[in-house]
């Protein structure tokens, strides 16, 4: 599963989220390829992914993409990340 983590600048919060998504996916035995991006360029690359993860504030920036966008409220909550990944794992 290709996952795109989106934050404002593409270097901070999305990197933290990527690390945690990879760790949760490993626990679940899901094969993921996680990349990061800033909100501005995410629109262009979102379609190359199966799932986009971002925060509530930035989700509106991604309106119009055909890839599902899921909001993560607590980037440090493994259960929240786990629920989202399980939803799309099939």
Q: Which residues bind other proteins (CB under 8 A)?
A: 7-13, 15-17, 19-20, 23, 39, 55-58, 73-78
In terms of DSSP H, where are the helices of the chain? 13-28, 39-46, 78-88
Residues marked as catalytic: 7
Q: Toward other proteins, which CB reaches closer, 14 or 90? A: 14
Q: How far is CA 87 from CA 50, 57, 69, 80, in A?
A: 12, 22, 12, 11
Q: Toward other proteins, which CB reaches closer, 11 or 48? A: 11
Q: Pull the structure tokens for residue 45.
A: 């690359």
Q: Nearest approach, Cβ of 80 to other proteins (angstroms)?
A: 10
């Amino acid at each position: 599963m290709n996952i795109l983590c989106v934050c404002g600048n593409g270097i901070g919060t999305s990197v933290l989220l990527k690390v945690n998504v990879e760790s949760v996916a490993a626990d679940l035995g899901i094969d993921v390829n996680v990349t990061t991006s800033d909100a501005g360029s995410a629109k262009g690359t979102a379609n190359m992914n199966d799932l986009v993860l971002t925060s509530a504030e930035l989700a509106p920036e991604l309106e119009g993409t055909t890839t599902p966008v899921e909001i993560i409220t607590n980037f440090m909550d493994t259960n929240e990340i786990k629920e989202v990944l399980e939803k799309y794992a099939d």
